[in-house]
Amino acid sequence: MDTLTFKARFSEFGRLPDPIVADAIARATSRTNATVMGNQTDEAIGYMAAHLLALSPAGQQARLSEPGKMTTYMQHWLDIARYKAVGYARVTQ
């Protein structure tokens, strides 16, 4: 996942400076296990980076949850992680 791809997929962060986005991508990459995520690694990194940005003051406009609650980006990341960890048929809410 690079800055250009991230901003194309998550246009709500398009106005943020590239170094801020690149930092979030780097932190998201370190928190996302490529072995577990497999072919959905880039998507998982994108959601984690979006989550981290939404928690920051720079991403306040993209935050879709209440303070102290999980962002919608983190929910998407967890959905991917659950799917990859146990398989689609075994994921329950």
**Segment 45-67 mean pLDDT:** 75
Structure tokens at 43: 């998507």
Answer whether residue 42 shows pLDDT above 70: yes
The pTM (predicted TM-score) of the whole model is 0.74
Answer whether residue 65 shows pLDDT above 90: no
- What letter does residue 71 receive in the DSSP assignment? P
Q: List, for residues 14-30, the tens digit of each pLDDT value.
A: 999 999 999 999 999 99
* pLDDT interval class at 91 (50, 70, 90): very low
CB atoms within 10 A of CB 51: 24
**Segment 65-75 mean pLDDT:** 69
The DSSP-derived string for 14-68 is: TTS-HHHHHHHHHHHHHHS-HHHHGGGHHHHHHHHHHHHHHHSGGGGGG--S-TT
